[in-house]
Amino acid sequence: MSRLVIVSNRVAAPQQSRAGGLVVALDAALRDTGGVWFGWSGKATRDGTQAVQHARAGNVEYVTMDLSEADVAGYYDGFSNRTLWPALHYRLDLVEYSRETHVVYRQVNARFAERLATLLRPGDRVWIQDYHLLPLAGELRARGVDNPLALFLHVPFPPSDLARALPNHASVFGAMAAYDLVGFQTRRDCENFDAYLRDATDSGEIALRAGRPPPLTRAFPISIDADEFAQAARRARGSAGVRGLRDSLGGSALAIGVDRLDYSKGLVEKFQAFGEFLRRHSGNTGGLTLLQVAPVSRGGVRSYRELRHELERIAGHINGRHADPQWTPIRYVNRNLGRQTLAGYYGAARLGLVTPLRDGMNLVAKEYVAAQDPDDPGVLLLSRFAGAADQLGGAMLVNPYDIGGVADAIDAALRLGADERRERHAESLRSLREQDIHWWTAAFLDALDARGTSRSRATTA
């Protein structure tokens, strides 16, 4: 079997912690065939040096490149996170476009391609991860690489008109046509990208490469190892941390939200909906506590700093209005909690509030389902704009923009009887087990192998 080469913005080196399900799954796929994991080291050098590091664990080589501080500012902090991230999440109002950061983004991708091309062997399959590396296939093709190249986009892809509104979109989104396979989280994302290629080609904004068919596009909803996460939750149930949380609640039920501090996660709307729930359903005063874990990310970006201040203001207002000496409505935590701790907290929560304004998938929703006690499960309230809504049929779907609707859904979820809660949980858990993280990896690589075979036949015909 041919080697697998994985390329990602950051590389999980063998000596680092590997708690995340995605990292474990990709590492297992690499070990099955042998191969290379390539990407940025995470180091930013002041002198501009771009050292390359090599490490090996068994039949897998880990190759990382340093970037200069200027590269990180332009490629990562700038174009990837200030431009592409909001554009891909439908937020053109938050896009900060700069020709300078766009140039650096393309330059870094070109340097990655130059180094990666020297590592590839004939027949290697190359699996590239996410929006930081959209032009990488085109850069590799320009250097004569003819290996099967695939991209998985972990975030949404916007409708054609929004994608084409990005300045110089052809050099980023149009460059994705150089892949053999592009995987998305949902069918909607596939349809949006297919429409973009069609519209941009018809208008002459991009030109597909002669002799090479457009990429195959498919939905591969990413997931978790549901059984493994359920075991982690069971181990955590009797832990001191979970017992302490339960004791601190008194007689209050727990609602939990775990989101990176990001405007796409709908945190402002979630807090507003929880406040509206307390106002409309005052009979529940003291009966439900929201624990919101929101680790700070991209603190150097102005919109993220403003979001943090707004959340602190809203939480303070709600707590000041509704709290009493024995009960605080919102517990707001701005730091990471360990995976085992979170698994225990999920299992202790009567409600899971996962209400992003737009999300590629949202694995927190799946972790919440996996962590529940099947005999007495909690209820997941899930945004219909999260990719996970296509799979978790037992969730109560909500529109996060409808503040009053979410408030009423919280009340309705608290009133569900045990039989309905068990039915809803069983339906969602069945989907998780049928399409887990191992299914995701195998399905994607099978599609890439089939695409590579069909392309080879077309080339030799």
| Confidence category of residue 299, pLDDT binned at 50, 70, 90 | low
Amino acid found at 377: P
pLDDT greater than 50 at residue 460: no
Domains of the chain: 4-223+438-454 (3.40.50.2000), 226-434 (3.40.50.2000)
pLDDT tier for residue 455 given thresholds of 50, 70 and 90: low
pLDDT in tens, 402-428: 999 999 999 999 999 999 999 999 999
> pLDDT-based confidence at 20, cuts 50/70/90?
low
Instruction: Please give the pLDDT value at position 238.
Output: 87
Rounded to an integer, what distance in angstroms lies between the CA atom of residue 437 and that of residue 443? 10
Whether the Cβ atoms of residue 281 and residue 321 lie closer than 8 Å to each other: no
Q: What is the mean pLDDT of residues 91-112?
A: 97
Q: How far apart are CA 196 and CA 193, in angstroms?
A: 5
pLDDT at position 21: 64
3-state SS of 357-405 is: CCECCCHHHHHHHHHCCCCCCCEEEEECCEHHHHCCCCCEEECCCCHHH
What's the confidence (pLDDT) of residue 247? 94
How far is Cα 145 from Cα 157, in angstroms, rounded to an integer? 26
- Looking at the DSSP bridge assignments, the partners of residue 150 are 127, 181
Query: What's residue 454's pLDDT?
Result: 64
**pLDDT band at 458; cut points 50, 70, 90:** low
Q: What pLDDT does residue 64 have?
A: 96
Does residue 52 register a pLDDT over 60? yes
227-247 tens-digit pLDDT:
999 999 999 998 999 999 999
Once rounded to an integer, what is the mean pLDDT over residues 107-134?
97
- 328-384 pLDDT per residue, tens: 999 999 999 999 999 999 999 999 999 999 999 999 999 999 999 999 999 999 999
What Å distances lie between residue 371 and 233, 270, 299, 374, 421, CA to CA?
5, 22, 30, 9, 14
Q: Which amino acid is at 270?
A: K
Residue from 338, 340, 341, 342 nearest 352 by CA: 342
- Kindly report the average pLDDT of the chain as a whole number: 93
Tokens 């596009």 map to which residue?
217
User: For the segment 260-288, what is each residue's pLDDT rounded down to a tens digit?
Assistant: 999 999 999 999 999 999 999 987 778 99
In the predicted model, what is the mean pLDDT of residues 20-37?
A: 85
pLDDT at 37 > cutoff 70: yes
With 90 as the cut, is the pLDDT of residue 36 above it? yes
CA dist., res. 351 & res. 371, Å (int):
12
Are 422 and 374 in contact, with CB atoms under 8 Å apart? yes
What is the reported pLDDT for 264?
A: 95
Classify residue 56 as exposed, middle or buried by CB count within 10 Å of its CB (0-12, 13-18, 19+): exposed
Q: CA 325 to CA 289: how far, in whole Å?
A: 14
Q: What does the pLDDT read at residue 461?
A: 46
Q: Could you list the active site residues? A: 154, 359
pLDDT of residue 282: 82
